[in-house]
Chains A and B, each alone.
Chain A
C-alpha cells in the first residue's frame, strides 16, 4: 500500500489535487448546514435515566426554560418599592406578556401575581398584587408589606432587601430565546428609571454561548492557524515548505467538519474545538516530511526519488504516531457522553485523514515544484539549523542529560511524587455559566442576581408516592360488592374499575359513575352502590397522598433542614401555599402560619388557593392527583460541587430520618443534571485514559517489537499527564470538562515525540552501533524537529487566550503546558534513561562503542 501510494502521488499529482479539491468542496459544502447545539442536557444521551426523569418532571409540573430579568435599584432607600420602579416593572411585564413565544400564563412577576390577605375582620381578599402600578409611595410600600408576608414571592420575585425584582419569562421554545431577548432588551432600554436591568437565564446563556462558539470557530481557530504558520515560517524560512503543511491541515479540518456536519451531527462545544485540535496534529506530520526533504534535497537531485525515499522511511513512524493519537481520541468513545464521543471519533478520523493527505499531497506537491523553487528551498532551509540558539541549547542539554542522568531521573521521580500529591488535591467541579468570562454580561447578571435573590440555579427534589397494593385491594373489595349488582350497572362500573388511563381522574370518574348509577338504581341496589361509593371515596382520599398533613409536615421538615444547612438559598413547595392560605383564612396572625390538622382542611385550603387568577400555579408544585410533589430549591451557585453538597446533605438527613415506605425521592433540575454528566464525565474519562494507555502501550510494544521500548515510549506521556494534572491540583484550577478531555490530547501528542525519538535513536544505533553516536545525532535534526514542533504548537495556541469563552482559554494554556512538558521529558529524560539502561532497553543493538563505528557513521 505504501509503495502504491507513493507512486500514485508522484506520478499523478494532478489527479491527487483534483480528488482532494473535490473532496474539500463537496464535504466543505455541508458546513453551511451547521447546527449549533448548546444545550448542556445533551451532554447526556437522550435515553439516560436521570435525563429522562428530568424531562418527565418538566412535563409533570409544566416547567419551562425561562429568561430571567433582574431589576436592581441601589439608589432609592426603599429599593424597587418606589412609584417609578414599580411602574417600570409593571409596564415591562405587560409588554413582555404581549410578545409572541412567551408562555404568558406561567410568567412570574410581581405585576401578575396574586395576593391573599385580610380586608377587615372576617373578610378574606383575593386580588392582583399590583393590577396597576401604585400611584403613591405609600401604596408602593404597602406592596412591600404584602410581599413580606408571602414566602413564595420573597427572595424569588423580590429580594429580601427590597433592592431587586425579578421577572421569569417562560418561553415556548429555546429557538425563540434569541429574538425574544433582543425584544426584551429593547423594552428595557426604553425604561428611564434609576433601576439597573440584567438579563440572563439558561436559554439566554445558551444563545450567547452559541454565538461565542461561532466567533471562536470563525476568529480564534484561524488566528491560531496563522500563528502556527508564522512560527513555522520563522523556523523554516521557506513559504513553499510551510504552505503545504498548512494546506494539509486546512483540507483535513474542512473535510472532517464537513463530514461531521453532513452526517447530521450538531456542533457542540466539544466538536467546535475539533479544528483547534486537528490543526497541530495535521501540521506536525507534514512538517516532518517537508523538513527532511529540505534537508536532503540538493540542487540537481531527483525530487521524486528523494520524496519517495522520505515517505518510505517516515511511513511507519508517521502511521504509528497517527494511530496512537487516533487511539487516544477514540478512547473517548468509552466516555458515555455523546458530544465527547462525537468529538473523539471525528478527531480520530481527522488524524488518520491528515496522515493520508500527508503521504499523498506532499509528494504530489513536491514533484510539481519547479527546479528553481526546489533550489531556493534547499538553500534557505540549509544554513540556520545547526547554529541557532535552539540547536546549541539542545546539544548542551543532551550532554547534560547524559552526564547527569541519575540526577535527571531523580528529579523526575521527585516531580512525579509531587504531581501525584497534586492529583490527589484536584477539585472536580464545573459550572457552564463559568464558561463565560468574568466580565461577560451573563456572568455579571448571574453574580448580581445571586447576591440579591435566594438563587437563580434550580433543582427539584421530587417525591412520588406509589402504592400499587392500594389499587388492587380497592379493586378486590369493590369486586366483592359488584357481585350483588344487576347489569348494566355492574358491567359499567367494572369497566371503569380496571381503567388504567393515567391522565384521567380514576376515582373521580368512578365516583361519578356510581352516583349516576345511584340515580337510576332500584331500592335493592342502593345500599350496595352506597357501599361502593363509600369505598371509592375513601380510596380517593387515601390516594391524595400529598394532601396528608403528616406528610406535608415531613416536607416542611425537609425544607427547614435544607434552609438551615446553608447550602440552599431557599425552597418553595406546596407546604408554603397551604400555610399562607391557612393563615389568611384564619385571620392572618403569624401563629396560624401552619399546616391544618386534616387532609380535608388541606384540600379546602387548596380549593381557595385555586380560586385565584392563576390556579394553574398549583400544578408546578403537585400533580392534580396529589401523588407527586416537587420541592423547588433555589441555589446561589451552579457549581457541581455545591449541588453535590446539597444532594449529599439531604441523603444523609434522609438516611437518619427515612421517608415513609412507598415514597420515591429523586432529583431533577438543570443544576442536578449538570452534576450527573460531570460525574459521568470524570469516571468516563478515567476509563478512556486507562483504555488508551493500555492500547497505546500494546501498539508501542508491537511497533518496536520490544515491550521494554514500548514501556520507554510511555514514559514521556505518563510524566506529562501526571505533571499537567498535578499542576492543576496544586494551582487549584477546577477539573472541568475541557481539562478532562485534554488528557487524551496529551496522550496522543506526547507519545508522538517519544515514537520519533526512540525510532530514530534505534536507527542511529543500528547504523552506528554506538550509543554515543546515536546520542549526538539525536540531538541534531531529530531533536530540533521535536523541539520545533513543541514550540510551534505551544506558542501557536496563544491566540486562544483571547477567545471569548473560558474552555478555549483553558485549552490554549493547557496545550502550551503539555507541549513544553512532553518536549522536555522526551528530549532530556529519554536520553538520560537511555544512558542509564540503554543496552538493556535496546537488547543487543549498539553494544559497540568504538571510534571506528563513529568514523564509519560519519563517512556514511
Chain B
C-alpha cells in the first residue's frame, strides 16, 4: 500500500516537475505542509464519509459536505460542514471561522431542536461528532502552536518532531509527522503521550491529483489505546469554485446553501 502510494506520488511529482530541491528548515517544511493540507485552491468542496469503528468493529457512519473558503493562503479561512447522513442528523451544520491570530469562531445548528448555538472557543481537541478525528484535525492545527524540528530527511519524507508550546492545552507531549517530500502532504502523524507511548495515529491512505492539487481522498485515524478507528473518504472534490463569502455566515446555518452543496457538474 505504502509502496504504491509512494510511487504514485512520485509520478505526480514528476509530472509536476516540482519537489526537486531539498529543504532543511523545519518551519518552512511545516509552512508548506500546512498549505498543501489545508489551503489547496482559493476555496473547495468535498463530500466526506466517515466510518467510525470501535475495537469490536462496530460501525457508525456519518456523511457530510465541507465547503471551505480561504481569506489568504496560510491565513484565516472559513468552513461550513453540512450533514446529510444518517438522516436523523441531516442538515446539522457547523460553521467555523478559523483565525490565525486569535481563537476560532464556531457555530452549530441542530435542526431537530431548531437551535443555533455558538460553541465556546477553547478546547479544539475534542472528538468531532464521535469520530476519532478532533475538531482541530478538520480545520488544521496552527503551526505557530508548536516548535518544529526536522529529525530525518529520507528519500520520500521529511520527518519532523513537533512539541507544543503550551503543553497543558493538549493531551499529547509531542507528535511526529512524515511529510511527503514532493506533495508536502503529511502522510502519517504519530502522537505520543506523557507515558511515552504512541497512542494515536493519523495516516493518509490514498492521494489523487485533483485539478493539479495532490489531494487526500482516504485517511484513517487510529486510537491505539482503545483499538477504535475512523476512516474518512473524500469524494466529489472540487477547488476554486468561487464560493462567495456570504455562504459562510450564520444565515447558512438554518438555510444550507444548496447550490454549493450539491455535486458539481463534471468539469
Contact = CB atoms under 8 A, between A and B. Distances in A.
B194 A512 contact: no
A708 interface: no
A616 B228 CA distance: 9
Interface residues of A, number: 60
B120 A126 contact: yes
Interface in A522-556: 537, 540-541, 544, 547
A505 B61 contact: yes
Interface stretch (A34-42, A116-124, A433-441): A116-124
Interface string A99-124: 00001110000000010000100111
B60 A503 contact: no
B127 A613 contact: yes
Interface stretch (A127-135, A156-164, A188-196): A127-135
B146 interface: no
Contact of A123 (B110, B111, B117): B117
B86 A508 contact: yes
Given A124-B120, A605-B113, A600 B89 contact: yes
A610 B126 CA distance: 9
B87 interface: yes
A503 B130 contact: no
Contacts of B73: none
Given A105-B225, A126-B126, A508-B60, A607 B89 contact: yes
Interface stretch (A6-14, A288-296, A465-473, A619-627): A619-627
Interface string B20-64: 000000000000000000000000000001010011111111010
Contacts of A619: 54
Given A603-B86, A603-B89, A505 B123 contact: no
Interface residues of B, number: 48
Contacts of B116: 122
A540 B60 CA distance: 12
B168 A596 contact: no
A389 interface: no
A131 B166 CA distance: 13
Contacts of B61: 505, 508-509, 511-512
Given A124-B118, A505-B60, A613-B126, A541 B88 contact: yes
A565 interface: no
B263 A519 contact: yes
Contacts of B113: 582, 585-586, 596, 601, 604-605
A33 interface: no
Given A104-B225, A511-B85, A603 B112 contact: yes
A114 B228 CA distance: 20
Contacts of A602: 112
A603 B194 CA distance: 35
Interface string A581-596: 0100110000000001
B18 interface: no
5 contacts: A122-B118, A124-B117, A126-B122, A512-B63, A600-B88
Interface of A: 59, 62, 94, 97-98, 103-105, 114, 119, 122-128, 131-132, 503-505, 507-509, 511-512, 515, 519, 537, 540-541, 544, 547, 582, 585-586, 596, 598-605, 607-608, 610-616, 618-619, 623-625
Interface of B: 49, 51, 54-61, 63, 85-89, 92, 108, 110-113, 115-120, 122-123, 125-131, 135, 168, 171, 194-195, 223, 225-226, 228, 236, 263
Given A104-B225, A122-B117, A607-B89, 20 more contacts: A114-B126, A124-B119, A125-B122, A127-B120, A511-B85, A537-B86, A585-B110, A585-B115, A586-B113, A598-B112, A601-B112, A602-B112, A604-B92, A605-B113, A607-B92, A607-B130, A610-B129, A615-B127, A619-B54, A624-B59
